[in-house]
C-alpha cells in the first residue's frame, strides 16, 4: 500500500531513483540467505565479472559496496589519495559541489574550477593548471561525467587528451552516477582510473549499492594512499576476493539478486542499444522543450545530457510549484531545481528501464502543468514534436523481430 495512495502507477521522472522493472522486483522478492554459503560467492563472482562490462573495462577491478553514490565517492578518494594531496575538481552544479565539499572535508587540497551552472567543465583551465604543474603536485582530476542538477554532460575524451598532452600522471576519477549504463562510457579506452555509479540510476535498482571500478594504476596508488578508510577499504575486499568468499561484511542478498536481473536485462537489450535508447529519449525531450518555447538549462548542444533535462521556466513561475502540482494532481514525479537553480528549473529524468511511450506520458503531464501555472503552452505541441521524432527513429524491439 502506498504511503499516500493515488490511483494507477506513479509516473516517476526524477533523474534517480528510477523505475524498477518487474523482473528485477521479482528477483529481489526472496528471503535472506547465508552469505557465507557456496551460493552467494558463486553469484558474486558472476556479478563482478559482468559489472566490468558496463564500465567497458577488461583491466579494472570492481567493488560492489553497500552504500550510495556519496559512499562510492569517498571510496574512490580515500583509497587513492592522502591528506593534503592536490586535486583539480570542477564545480558546475549541485552534485559536483557536494563532491568538492567531500574532498575538502577529507583534507585534500582542492583546486576548484567553477563554471556557470548550465555550462560544462572549463577544460582550458585544466590545461593551464597541468601545463604549470611541472612538479606533478596535482594527484587527481575529479570530474562529474553527467551533472544531474543542470543536465550537463562533460567530455571525458577531452579530459584524457589534455592529461596525455602534458604527460601528466594525475589519476582521473569520474563520477558516473547518472551516466554509466545510459551514456557512452569507456573506462579503458578513455584512461579512467576510478569510475563509480549508483544502483538507483540507470541500473534501475533500489538505492543502496555503490559500484566502484579501479584501474591497475588506481590499485597501485591505493598501496601508498594514507587517507583513513575502514568500511570503504579496497584492501579488505581484495583479501576476500583471494579467498573466494568476496565479502568483508554482510551484503544485501536481495540487491545482489536484483543486480543479477538488472544486468541480464541490459545485456539482453544490448548495452549499445541501451545507450541509443537514452539518446532517443533525450532528443525527444529536448524537442518537446523547444516546442513549448522554453529553454534548456544546458547552454550548449555539446553538453546536452541524454539522462536528464533541466527546463528553465519564466521568471513569473516558481518551478517548485510545477513539481508540487505534478505530484498532487497528476501522480507525476519531476525533479526540483537545486541550490542556485531552485525555483528556476524543473528536471525531467529520462534514464533507466524506460521506453518512449512512458516518456510521452510524462511530456503530456508537463504540458498540462504548464497550463495550470499560467504558461501559455499549446497543448500537444511538445508531445507532437517528440512523437514526430520518435516515430521516425524507434527501431523494432530486437527480441520481437
Bind-site residues for substrate? 347
The CA radius of gyration of the chain, in Å to the nearest whole number, is 21
Cα–Cα distance list, 203 to 118, 199, 295 (Å): 26, 6, 29
CA separation for the pair 346, 332 (Å, rounded): 13
Closest-CA residue to 348 (of 274, 287, 276, 271):
287
Joined grid coordinates for residue 1: 500500500
Q: DSSP string of 56-94?
A: T-SS-EEEEESS-HHHHHHHHHHTT--TT-EEEEEE-SH
Residues in binding site: 347
Handedness of CA 75, 77, 81, 84 (dihedral sign): negative
Cis peptide before 17, with omega less than 30 degrees from 0? yes
Beta-sheet pairing, 146-147 with 152-153? antiparallel
State the Cα angle at 352 between 27 and 196, rounded to 5°: 90
Q: Is residue 245 exposed (0-12), middle (13-18) or buried (19+ Cβ within 10 Å)?
A: middle
Beta bridge partners of residue 90, listed in sequence order: 113
Q: Is 193 left (phi over 0), alpha (psi -120 to 50) or beta?
A: alpha
CA separation for the pair 69, 196 (Å, rounded): 8
Closest-CA residue to 173 (of 231, 251, 110, 235):
110
Residue 153 · residue 351 · CB < 8 Å: no
Q: Is residue 211 exposed (0-12), middle (13-18) or buried (19+ Cβ within 10 Å)?
A: buried
Alpha carbon of residue 186 to chain centroid: 14
Amino acid at each position: 500500500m502506498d504511503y499516500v495512495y493515488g490511483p494507477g502507477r506513479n509516473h516517476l521522472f526524477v533523474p534517480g531513483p528510477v523505475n524498477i522493472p518487474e523482473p528485477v522486483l521479482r528477483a529481489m522478492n526472496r528471503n535472506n540467505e547465508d552469505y557465507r554459503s557456496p551460493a552467494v560467492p558463486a553469484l558474486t563472482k558472476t556479478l563482478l565479472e559482468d559489472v566490468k562490462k558496463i564500465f567497458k573495462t577488461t583491466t579494472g577491478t570492481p567493488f560492489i559496496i553497500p552504500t550510495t553514490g556519496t559512499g562510492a565517492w569517498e571510496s574512490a578518494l580515500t583509497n587513492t589519495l592522502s591528506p593534503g594531496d592536490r586535486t583539480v575538481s570542477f564545480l558546475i552544479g549541485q552534485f559536483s559541489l557536494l563532491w568538492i565539499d567531500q574532498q575538502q572535508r577529507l583534507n585534500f587540497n582542492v583546486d576548484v574550477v567553477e563554471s556557470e551552472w548550465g555550462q560544462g567543465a572549463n577544460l582550458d583551465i585544466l590545461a593551464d593548471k597541468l601545463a604549470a604543474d611541472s612538479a606533478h603536485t596535482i594527484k587527481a582530476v575529479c570530474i562529474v561525467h553527467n551533472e544531474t542538477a543542470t543536465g550537463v554532460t562533460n567530455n571525458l575524451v577531452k579530459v584524457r587528451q589534455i592529461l596525455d598532452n602534458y604527460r601528466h600522471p594525475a589519476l582521473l576519477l569520474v563520477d558516473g552516477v547518472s551516466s554509466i549504463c545510459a551514456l557512452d562510457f569507456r573506462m579503458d579506452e578513455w584512461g579512467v582510473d576510478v569510475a563509480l555509479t549508483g544502483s538507483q540510476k540507470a541500473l534501475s535498482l533500489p538505492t543502496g549499492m555503490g559500484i566502484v571500478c579501479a584501474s591497475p594504476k588506481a590499485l597501485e596508488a591505493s598501496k601508498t594512499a594514507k587517507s583513513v578508510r575502514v568500511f570503504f577499504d579496497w584492501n579488505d575486499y581484495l583479501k576476500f576476493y583471494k579467498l573466494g568468499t568476496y565479502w568483508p561484511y554482510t551484503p544485501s542478498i536481495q540487491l545482489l539478486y536484483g543486480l543479477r536481473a538488472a544486468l541480464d536485462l541490459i545485456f539482453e537489450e544490448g548495452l549499445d542499444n541501451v545507450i541509443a535508447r537514452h539518446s532517443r529519449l533525450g532528443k525527444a525531450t529536448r524537442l518537446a522543450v523547444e516546442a513549448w518555447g522554453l529553454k534548456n538549462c544546458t547552454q550548449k548542444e555539446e553538453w546536452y545530457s541524454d539522462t536528464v533535462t533541466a527546463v528553465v521556466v519564466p521568471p513569473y513561475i516558481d518551478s517548485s510549484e510545477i513539481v508540487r502540482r505534478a505530484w498532487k494532481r497528476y501522480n507525476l514525479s519531476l525533479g526540483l531545481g537545486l541550490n542556485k537553480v531552485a525555483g528556476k528549473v524543473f528536471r525531467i529524468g529520462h534514464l533507466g528501464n524506460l521506453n518512449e511511450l512512458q516518456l510521452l506520458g510524462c511530456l503530456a503531464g508537463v504540458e498540462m502543468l504548464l497550463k495550470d501555472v499560467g504558461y501559455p503552452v499549446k497543448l500537444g505541441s511538445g508531445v507532437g514534436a517528440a512523437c514526430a521524432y520518435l516515430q521516425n527513429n524507434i527501431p523494432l524491439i530486437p527480441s520481437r523481430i
